[in-house]
Structure 1
């Protein structure tokens, strides 16, 4: 949409690193100085940058909100999936993010639960005294959402696999994390990084069509994906499009070379025929 893994815009993911940290620091719930216990080095670590070939561990076992064991493979169910890490106690960013994402997903024209999956992973234990942030998910979508969590080491294994780094703020009982999530292919490969704060139904649809690898969406969607191969944020062509251009240039040069050879042979044959033609007096 590229390395790491075709479709992953790691450069864009770096650009959205500061978003959540800034908002958390500015949140009125955190007294000033809000991030005194978090160093700049801590905040610099926060980000979402999938490594080359990033793929989630399909055999990893987590727990649903209802306490049922579920593997990552079962949660994906072989479908293109949005994997959204959240702080389950975050009311500043995560709750609005899920509400925005819910509305955008419902506006894609795709069928949540059938065409695509939405998996929400809690980065830490939820404070049972608070309303779940997933309460902001549209009612029609709620049944298609899988909310999972697990022991810290299991959550860390999943987030590390996609290059997602968060930092705990022990003073305020919060987690400073990137305002971003990823789309996954049905077999768990990271295909795209998306900003939680700017996601739209249109961009979400294209990301899911890309992750679906031709199984969902229309021909028009796939043509648009090709057109969107130009990375406007960087002013350069993404590797997939650049390779297509290189292939087109190569074919053009081969065609020109073949044409010149053909013209040369015809010219030579014509000269030979003239030389062999008997003169008439």
Structure 2
């Protein structure tokens, strides 16, 4: 008598190649991330940047009677730029210092590039005020920077619309604190650390909009000015703060930027990996259920096949 052996192999789900490849790639990235993060933790946030940033003070008034000097040395207050020619206008407010090695010029140039594309003209529909955060700022540097930017802007009447101010430490701090602009002096590098931001205020001197980065979308500037002119404020959801430092190995600037990128990348990767695995296991679960249903429907056929096999063997 011959016996027919029926071997039923247990079917285990296998990960598709693309999932396996993705997992391997993500594990490699995780190793890189953990290494970079460990290195970044060694280089914690340097003291020079601990008090640098922006706290949005939407609808908060800035002190318009704070005394300053314009680029010619003439005593002025902020109020006269909000109520010039008996007309109230929104004001674009920036902070910088004119011996800044990199970022200040980038921010101001980016502001000019964006404002050139705005239909409104500074000095007519709005004003621009740039306050130096360096109480020792010279009028010569201030004037040179002003002339350079006005030439770049290139519109008639702008000469009366962009105002560069210098002032005492107390005057600068009063306006910066009211605006939520945090800056700090680094004595070791002899530089001022500050965020990259352009602010817009309402015609009555209240904070209305914060725009971040080293590029400013003309449409964002236009809408910000329009909203501010109507006394409305807009909260910024996404912030990109770039600190005013050139490369400094001891300060760990690039390490900090890498850490942020790795943190965001790690979160994105976790979401992608979870989604891929969830999709795979969902498919496998459905396939397993289908197999069970199919096996249940064919359950009575096995004895018949076995009988036929035995009959053949007997013959």
Give the TM-score normalised by the residue count of structure 2: 0.53
Equivalent of residue 178 in structure 1, options 189, 192, 195 = 195
Q: Tell me what 1:68 maps to.
A: 74
Question: Contact (CA 8 Å) 2:91, 2:203: kept in 1 or not?
Answer: yes
* 1:109 pairs with one of 98, 110, 119: 119
SS in structure 1 at match of 2:170: helix
For the 8 Å contact 1:101–1:196, the answer to whether it is kept is no
- Cα distance in 1 for partners of 2:190, 2:219 equals 35
Indicate which of 119, 137, 147 corresponds to 1:126: 137
Query: Relative to total residues, which structure has the larger helix share, 1 or 2?
Result: 2
* Aligned match of 1:80: 90
Deviation of the 1:130 alpha carbon:
5.8
Residues 233 and 158 (structure 1), Cα distance of their counterparts in 2 relative to 1, 3 Å cut = closer
Whether the 8 Å CA contact 1:87–1:94 is kept in 2: the answer is: yes
Per the alignment, do residues 129 and 171 of structure 1 end up closer, same or farther by CA in structure 2, a change over 3 Å counting? Answer: farther
Corresponding residue for 2:184?
167
Instruction: Report what 2:106 is aligned to.
Output: 96
Per-residue deviation, residues 85-138 of structure 1 (Å, max 9, x unmatched): 002211301112212211211211002101011100001133578684445414
Counterpart selection for 1:46 from 42, 52, 55? 52
RMSD: 2.9
Deviation at 1:233, TM superposition (A): 4.3
2:227 alignment counterpart: 210
- Tell me if the contact between 2:107 and 2:215 (Cα under 8 Å) persists in the aligned partners: no
Which runs of 5 or more residues in structure 1 are unaligned? 1-35, 215-221, 235-281
Q: Is the 8 A contact 2:89 2:203 kept in 1?
A: yes
Looking at CA atoms only, which structure, 1 or 2, has the larger radius of gyration?
2
Whole-angstrom CA distance in 1 between matches of 2:174 and 2:237: 33
Deviation at 1:52, TM superposition (A): 5.7
Conserved? CA contact 2:199–2:211, under 8 Å? yes
Kept after mapping to 1: 8 A contact 2:52/2:184: yes
TM-score by length of 1: 0.59
Name structure 2 gaps, 5 residues minimum: 1-42, 240-315
